């Protein structure tokens, strides 16, 4: 935390650390071990005290922690879903410069919202932010609601996100359970199964350990603990304020917990993509339908290569099926490899020439012929950025 913003929390003296009680007997630590039912209520006062003392000295100095504006806190919570802090920071600052209030976000065109989100991924978050801003203005007078049920009824806001917003903005004692918190709690009780199969138990643990007097700082502290010390790989147990309470540490299981489930192989899709030029040198782009992955973003048209189909044949077929036009497939422009959360793609991108037909919105919401100078004003998925760079390099 920033020097001027550090909070002082009283910690007990300890034999080997500043943040917790003296060394527990192993039998005391094992009492926290998971035995089929959550069991942190007795240990909660000591856990709260040691964690808050550590956070007062070691907590990260993050811009949304300097704010009590529910709007700014809500934006940060949505951006941090499945995204690291270091990635979020520049987007957060630019977002608040572009849309400084919920009213301005509500009134913005969706394309402007998606452009501001461009590159951050999981674009449904941006669409939900936009729709939620409109609902907050319509139903809640332009202020993020203080009620839990009202909060989770908004698009893109689940139990953890609601807890993060309500505790940070309004200091309400509402528990959270993001990835960091799951990992910390799973180790604390040596959870003998994957977190995905113990969600009810983990929620009970999070509610038991939450400090009802200081929920804002506690929730931020437990997330910091998971993000900085109780990390997925090679946790820094020697620096952890909860080391003496941690059942996984005392059983030397911190590298095995949280347990993971076997994952199916990640599918890898081969995609044929067309950069189509007309006689004036303009390029054809289309806007994806609102629903589904990358909804509302612009892209270069194309589709999945079928078995025993050449890339060139795929590109011709997809363009005919999606846009109703005939093209000539020319030379390969670039090959782009990109990974999403549940699959990988290889984009095989070809320069193409428009031959006949008027582009139709058969499989998309909108089509446009644009110049190279105009193309940067449209929001594209991250992988398409490499295609745009290749087009520009080709043009020089």
77 given a catalytic annotation: yes
- Mark residue 340 as left, alpha or beta (left: phi above 0; alpha: psi -120 to 50; beta: remaining): beta
Which 3-state string (H, E, C) describes the chain? CCHHHCCCCCCCCCCCCCCCCCCCCHHHHHCCCCCCCCCCCCCHHHHHHHHHHHHHHHCCCCHHHHCCCHHHHHHHHHHCCCCCHHHHHHHHHHHHHHCCCHHHHHHCCHHHHHHHHCCCCCCHHHHHHHHHHHHHHHHHCCCCCCCHHHHHCCCCCCHHHHHHHHHHHHCCCCCCCCHHHHHHHHHHCCCCCCHHHCHHHHHHHHHHHCCCCCHHHHHHHHHHHHHHHCCCCCCCHHHCCCHHHCHHHHCCCCCCCCCCCCCCCCCEEEEEEEEEECCCCCEEEEECCCCCCCCCCEECCEEECCCCCCHHHHHHHHHHHHHCCEEEEEEEEEEEEEECCCCEEEEEEEEEEEEECCCCCCCCCEEEEECCCCHHHCCCCHHHHHHHHHHHHHHC
Rounded distance between C-alpha atoms, residue 62 and residue 88, angstroms: 11
- Is residue 352 a contact partner of residue 319, using CB atoms and an 8 Å limit? yes
Catalytic residue among 28, 57, 77, 322: 77
Query: Could you give the angle at which helices 124-140 and 70-79 cross, rounded to 10 degrees?
Result: 160
Rounded distance between C-alpha atoms, residue 227 and residue 308, angstroms: 46
* Six-digit token string for 15: 């034999």
Residues classed as catalytic: 77
């Amino acid at each position: 935390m920033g020097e001027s913003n550090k909070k002082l929390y009283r910690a007990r003296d300890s034999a080997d650390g500043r943040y917790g009680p003296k060394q527990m007997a192993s039998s005391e630590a094992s009492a926290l071990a998971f035995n089929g039912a959550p069991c942190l209520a007795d240990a909660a006062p000591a856990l709260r005290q040691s964690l808050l003392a550590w956070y007062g000295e070691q907590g990260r100095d993050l811009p949304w922690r300097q704010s009590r504006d529910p709007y700014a806190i809500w934006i940060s919570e949505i951006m941090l879903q499945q995204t690291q802090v270091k990635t979020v920071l520049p987007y957060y600052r630019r977002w608040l410069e572009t849309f400084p209030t919920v009213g301005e976000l509500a009134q913005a065109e969706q394309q402007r919202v998606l452009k501001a989100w461009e590159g951050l991924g999981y674009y449904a978050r941006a669409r939900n932010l936009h729709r939620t801003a409109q609902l907050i203005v319509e139903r809640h007078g332009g202020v993020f609601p203080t009620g839990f049920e009202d909060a989770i009824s908004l698009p893109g806001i689940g139990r953890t996100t609601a807890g993060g917003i309500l505790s940070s903005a309004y200091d309400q004692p509402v528990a959270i359970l993001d990835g960091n918190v799951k990992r910390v709690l799973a180790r604390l009780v040596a959870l003998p199964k994957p977190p995905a199969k113990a969600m009810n138990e983990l929620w009970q643990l999070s509610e038991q350990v939450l400090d009802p007097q200081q929920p804002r700082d506690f929730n931020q502290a437990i997330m910091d603990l998971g993000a900085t010390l109780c990390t997925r790989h090679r946790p820094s147990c020697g620096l952890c304020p909860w080391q003496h309470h941690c059942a996984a540490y005392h059983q030397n299981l911190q590298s095995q917990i949280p347990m993971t489930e076997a994952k199916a192989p990640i599918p890898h899709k081969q995609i044929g993509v067309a950069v189509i030029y007309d006689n004036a040198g303009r390029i054809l782009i289309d806007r994806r339908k609102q629903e589904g992955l990358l909804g509302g973003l612009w892209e270069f048209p194309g589709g999945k290569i079928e078995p025993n189909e050449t890339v060139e044949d795929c590109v011709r077929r997809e363009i005919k099926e999606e846009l109703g036009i005939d093209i000539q497939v020319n030379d390969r422009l670039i090959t782009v490899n990109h990974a999403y959360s549940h699959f990988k793609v290889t984009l095989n991108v070809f320069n193409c020439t428009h031959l006949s037909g008027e582009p139709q919105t058969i499989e998309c919401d909108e089509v446009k012929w644009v110049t190279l100078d105009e193309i940067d004003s449209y929001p594209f998925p991250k992988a398409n950025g490499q295609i745009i760079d290749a087009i520009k390099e080709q043009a020089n």
